[in-house]
Chain A
Amino acid sequence: DTEVTQTPKHLVMGMTNKKSLKCEQHMGHRAMYWYKQKAKKPPELMFVYSYEKLSINESVPSRFSPECPNSSLLNLHLHALQPEDSALYLCASSQRQGNYNEQFFGPGTRLTVL
């Protein structure tokens, strides 16, 4: 199984809502990533988990809260988002952290903040 799954595919939320994005992989990868991608722009790295520990936080606002409950799961908890947070949120995994490891990306969650 070389697939990264993400749920939901689409999410619409108000600025006062709390929601979560979920990502799952069963490839035995020990590094997992969250990226944000705006239309016609490249993915921007938000967080990296390595061996279930937060390794990199690219100065992401606290309204985004990542969580890695186990080696197969990665969540992104959302609270009090702004309309400018509307984007495609991509999850990826790799065997280990580092650009020398191929990243496998999920299809993304399309988030709209009203």
Chain B
Amino acid sequence: LAKTTQPISMDSYEGQEVNITCSHNNIATNDYITWYQQFPSQGPRFIIQGYKTKVTNEVASLFIPADRKSSTLSLPRVSLSDTAVYYCLVQDRDGNKLVFGAGTILRVKS
């Protein structure tokens, strides 16, 4: 089964760019990489999704290298309200099981 690995926590200051990397060494060949944000006592919320190279939307960018064994979520100019847990979600190559990463706690300070 794929092991998706993320840093446990990261600290940042308002206005900085934050990059969170997820390693997913056994990702299914045709699967997308999706990132979610979760606040306490709420369900996860979709941030961004990609298959390869780079994807950008109004809140984040996602960088995926050619081998697709990792991905990096980039949050530009974070604010206090970006303090949350960030999860990557991929489908494992063996059995096509959907697997969330362990999550990265991002703390943004003023």
Interface set of A (CB-CB < 8 Å, partner B): 4, 41-45, 58, 90, 92, 98-100, 102-108, 110
Contacts and interface: CB of A to CB of B under 8 A. Distances in A.
A29 B97 CA distance: 20
Nearest to A100: B32
5 contacts: A42-B87, A99-B90, A99-B98, A102-B49, A108-B42
Interface string B35-56: 0100001111110010100000
A102 B34 contact: yes
Interface string B15-49: 00000000000000001101010000111111001
B37 to A, nearest CB: 11
A104 B46 contact: yes
Interface in B49-102: 49, 51, 87, 89-91, 97-98, 100-102
B31 A107 contact: no
A11 to B, nearest CB: 15
B43 A42 contact: no
A104 B20 CA distance: 22
Contact of A99 (B34, B87, B101): B34
B101 A42 contact: yes
Given A43-B100, A98-B91, A108-B41, 8 more contacts: A41-B103, A42-B100, A100-B49, A105-B36, A106-B43, A107-B41, A107-B42, A110-B41
Nearest to A102: B46
Contacts of B101: 42
A43 B90 CA distance: 13
Contacts of A103: 34, 36, 44, 46
A107 B34 contact: no
A25 B89 CA distance: 22
A60 to B, nearest CB: 13
A-B residue pairs, 10 tightest by C-beta: A105-B43, A42-B100, A100-B32, A102-B46, A99-B91, A105-B44, A45-B98, A90-B43, A99-B32, A42-B103
A44 B20 CA distance: 21
B62 to A, nearest CB: 13
